[in-house]
Amino acid sequence: MTVALVTTSEARDKFKEYLVKKGLRVTNQRLAIFDAAFLQAEHFTAEQLLAHARAIDDSVSRATVYRTLPIMTESALLREVDIGQGEKFYRTSSINSTQVAQVVCLDCNRIFEISAPFMEWYGSTVSSKLGLTPVSQRLQVSAHCNAFRQTGSCPRKC
Amino acid sequence: MTVALVTTSEARDKFKEYLVKKGLRVTNQRLAIFDAAFLQAEHFTAEQLLAHARAIDDSVSRATVYRTLPIMTESALLREVDIGQGEKFYRTSSINSTQVAQVVCLDCNRIFEISAPFMEWYGSTVSSKLGLTPVSQRLQVSAHCNAFRQTGSCPRKC
DNA sequence: CTGCCTGCAAACTCTTTGCACGAAT
DNA sequence: ATTCGTGCAAAGAGTTTGCAGGCAG
């Protein structure tokens, strides 16, 4: 079971623990990538993560970012958000992250996350009818911004 | 509003109509790609469609398949199904296709489609709260096959 | 010390695009 | 006759991987 993470340093410790537990090494690059990820308030791409990680440790390479992302995802510290637009997005995990739906604004590409507790129930129900065990589920809505359409800009950030 | 398509030839006529209406030309290649798509019972990839279309008209190229897929999708004769696994899948449309969820078997990669009428309602509700107008929504469940895990093969097709 | 980790660059997958030829209207 | 459509091959985007050297344990 996943424990609530209140501070970044708690998450950092958890990441180190995870590495040790898996027999992986705690390197400066991996920690720099971790720190860069947890500085992000919103969704970010691998490329953005690379830039931020390099600001912390300029020896970080693109390859290491791509090799570290799955580790952080498996350790449940990061969540992958694929909205089917070429590049994948990532976001630091909070509690109940398997019960979150995304609303993607087609005008500004912003991703809003919405609690959707029924999603997990739906996944279980539908899977068991097929003789399957659910692993994950995703619910995404693509939408246009009303304000953007009328005024050419959106009150939020479009 | 979309009309129910009972036969392939009805869909074929609809495709031709769509081309003419949009000022696009009715070419042998486009028709071969259309016919190949409507021979498929299940989901298919661009590459599979190319192979089947070439069996009908061996002059069909990969480029034309990729250029024709969006046309068939826009005309609502085809539906794009992106399960985030690199290549996209396509499927000929039936009624209520915007109210369908996918269950993806991680053992055999098979895609099951399930009616999920609440999905459209959810998309509208959640979007309007954000000042957005929903365009589309998708709900996908990834799952493991119980039978496959126990016996190494699945009664369906895994 | 040992062997995992790293950066670099090349490879890879899927899809898109520029160009000159060919076919639909 | 026009123009749009086509095949080919190259380009493109995002991600993965082989290799020789570097650092953690």
What local confidence, expressed as pLDDT, does residue A158 receive?
Answer: 57
Tell me which of A91-100, A110-119, A138-147 is least confident. Answer: A91-100
For residue A111, name the pLDDT band (cuts at 50, 70, 90). Answer: very high
Which option is the CATH number for B8-92: 1.10.580.10, 1.10.10.10, 3.40.50.10860, 3.60.15.10? Answer: 1.10.10.10
Q: What is the CA A86 to C1' C18 distance in angstroms?
A: 22
For residue A144, name the pLDDT band (cuts at 50, 70, 90). Answer: very high
Q: What is the mean pLDDT of residues B134-149?
A: 92
CB contact under 8 A, B141 and A133: no
| Tokens 């809003």 sit on residue | A112
User: In this complex, is the C-beta atom of B109 within 8 Å of any C-beta atom belonging to chain A?
Assistant: no
Q: Which residue has the higher pLDDT, B90 or B150?
A: B90
Distance from CA of A155 to the nearest CA of B (A): 10
Query: Which DSSP string do the residues of chain B spell out, in sequence order?
Result: -PPP--SHHHHHHHHHHHHHHTT----HHHHHHHHHHHH-SS-EEHHHHHHHHHHH-TT--HHHHHHHHHHHHHTTSEEEE--SSSS-EEEE--TTGGGEEEEEETTT--EEEEE-THHHHHHHHHHHHTTEEEEEEEEEEEEEEHHHHHHSS-SS--
Residues A28 and A138: their CA atoms lie apart, in Å, by 33
Residue at minimum CA to C1' distance from nucleotide D17 = A63
Domain positions in chain B: 8-92, 100-151
For residue B7, name the pLDDT band (cuts at 50, 70, 90). Answer: confident
Q: Indicate the average pLDDT of chain A.
A: 91
CA B43 to chain centre: 6
Distance from CA of B152 to the nearest CA of A (A): 14
User: In this complex, is the C-beta atom of B157 within 8 Å of any C-beta atom belonging to chain A?
Assistant: no
CB contact under 8 A, A126 and B141: yes
- A43-92 pLDDT, tens digit each: 999 999 999 999 999 999 999 999 999 999 999 999 999 999 899 999 99
In A, minimum Cα distance to B123 occurs at A141
Q: Which residue has the higher pLDDT, A42 or B152?
A: A42
Q: What is the CA A83 to C1' D14 distance in angstroms?
A: 14
Distance from CA of A93 to the nearest CA of B (A): 19
Same fold, B8-92 and B100-151: no
Beta-bridged to residue B113, according to DSSP, are: B102
B100-151 fold: Dna Ligase; domain 1 (3.30.1490)
**Does residue A143 surpass a pLDDT of 60?**
yes
Q: Which residue has the higher pLDDT, B117 or A37?
A: A37
CB contact under 8 A, A139 and B122: yes
